[in-house]
Amino acid sequence: MPKNKLHRLKAKYTPAEAKGMFVYLEHSEGKLADVSLELISKAKEITNGESIYGMLFGHKVNNLAEESIRSGLDEVYVIDDKHLLNYTPEAFTRCAEAIVEKYKPDTILIGATQNGCDMAGRLAVRLQTGLTAHITGLEVDEDGELVGWVPGFGGGIAAACKCPRHRPQLISVRPGVFLVGEEIKQSDGKIHNEPVPFSATDIKTEIVEKKVLAIDDISKADRIVAVGRGTDGDLGIAEELAKIIGGKVGGTRVALDEGWIGREQMIGQTGYSTKPNLAVLCGISGATQFTIGIDKADLILAINNDEEAPIFEQADLCVVDDLFDIIPALTKIVKNQISG
């Protein structure tokens, strides 16, 4: 018998046995992730009145289970254990597998956060099923099959993907794509406590240190000042403008790779999708990988000293000039106007 699973894995059940749409409820620091709430509202919309279910793994998370019921779930399966306080691939994948074995879901929607993806990739192989990853759109086609739109090639192209013959189908959804629905006041949703399906020795991942950065990510900002290579890491003027207009500083992949911004500030295909009413883009050339994360902005103002920069095609207001002159001048005017 070989040590690994190359010959041993097989599907848990047939598509005919599968039933129900499930949402994987992710949470951190005592809060349900926004993306999980977004998925509940989307699940409700596409299931058209059928029951929708949740799976929630953690420690002392009953209040989160209740919140998910108020957000629209009909039933939530909770696994509560002190070893689920922090995410580990072994424990969380095993929990999801146990819920799948018992309830045979048709579909599992998972937020494409980093830990969501970490689990989804391992779970898909364990269940020998399809994973439609990082989708930015979800619809039902004429055969009643779910179709997910997966962006690729820098976000310029999207592929319609479906998983017709394998269950459960796993679908991971980029945060910020769907809207959070309204809470329901009266609900008769049920919370089920499920047995712990692993022992402490099954967990191989040891968390030696954990630092929580108490900052909000860029996805919900109403106004954004985004920085790119053209700022050369000099973020002072961008920060000042952001402060004056009540916005947040974000940036491109380059800005992250150079260490100018944090991961929670990165906009684009591998970062966050944003929907600000104003985006001020400083020294950003306009690669599709970036613009896919900002194209829902109401108004885009781009400042770049290169007249040929592709970003100008995707901007409402185009300023061909040195951002180190324009940004301070704009900050000054806004400051005077607001205080005057």
Partner 1 sequence: MLNILVTVKVVPKPEEVKVDQETKTLDRGNARSEINPADMAVIETALKLKDKYGANVTVLSMGPPFADKFIKVAMAMGCDNGVLLTDRVLAGADTLATSYALAKAIDAIGDQDLVICGEESSDGATGQVPQGIAEWLDFSHVTYATALDLDEENNKLEAVRSLSNVTEKVRVPLPAVAAIITGAHEPRFMDFERRRELENGNTVKMLSAADIKVDPKRIGNAGSPTIVTGLKQLKTPERKNIRIEGKTAAEKAERIWEYLEKEGILKN
Q: Rank residues 73 and 254 by Cβ distance to partner 1 and give the closer one.
A: 254
Is 112 in contact with 38 (CB distance < 8 Å)?
A: no
Give me the least distance between CB of 83 and partner 1, in Å please. Answer: 15
- Work out the angle between the directed axes of helices 114-127 and 89-103 (0-180°, nearest 10): 50
Q: Rank residues 75 and 258 by Cβ distance to partner 1 and give the closer one.
A: 258
Give me the least distance between CB of 161 and partner 1, in Å please. Answer: 5
Q: Rank residues 6 and 188 by Cβ distance to partner 1 and give the closer one.
A: 6
How far from 255 is each of 96, 221, 264, 265, CA to CA, in Å? 36, 18, 12, 9
To the nearest 10°, the Cα dihedral for 66, 72, 78, 81?
Answer: -50
Give me the least distance between CB of 207 and partner 1, in Å please. Answer: 5
| Cβ-proximal residues to 6 (8 Å cutoff; 6+ apart), any chain | none
Closest of 257, 253, 254, 248 to residue 280, by C-alpha: 248
To the nearest 10°, the Cα dihedral for 158, 119, 178, 131?
Answer: 40
| Cβ-proximal residues to 25 (8 Å cutoff; 6+ apart), any chain | 32, 33, 36, 54, 55, 56, 64, 65, 68, 76
Is 89 in contact with 122 (CB distance < 8 Å)?
A: yes
Give me the least distance between CB of 264 and partner 1, in Å please. Answer: 5
Q: Rank residues 274 and 289 by Cβ distance to partner 1 and give the closer one.
A: 289
Give me the least distance between CB of 234 and partner 1, in Å please. Answer: 16
Q: Rank residues 73 and 297 by Cβ distance to partner 1 and give the closer one.
A: 297
Q: Rank residues 195 and 340 by Cβ distance to partner 1 and give the closer one.
A: 340
Residues in the chain: 340
CA 97 to chain centre: 22
Q: Which residues pair with 24 in a beta bridge?
A: 55
Give me the least distance between CB of 172 and partner 1, in Å please. Answer: 8
CA 5 to chain centre: 30
Give me the least distance between CB of 186 and partner 1, in Å please. Answer: 34
Q: Rank residues 152 and 239 by Cβ distance to partner 1 and give the closer one.
A: 152
Give me the least distance between CB of 128 and partner 1, in Å please. Answer: 7
Q: Rank residues 10 and 185 by Cβ distance to partner 1 and give the closer one.
A: 10
Q: Rank residues 16 and 212 by Cβ distance to partner 1 and give the closer one.
A: 212
Give me the least distance between CB of 134 and partner 1, in Å please. Answer: 6
> CA 197, CA 113: separation in Å to the nearest integer?
24
Location of structure tokens 């004056």: 244
Closest of 132, 96, 126 to residue 24, by C-alpha: 96
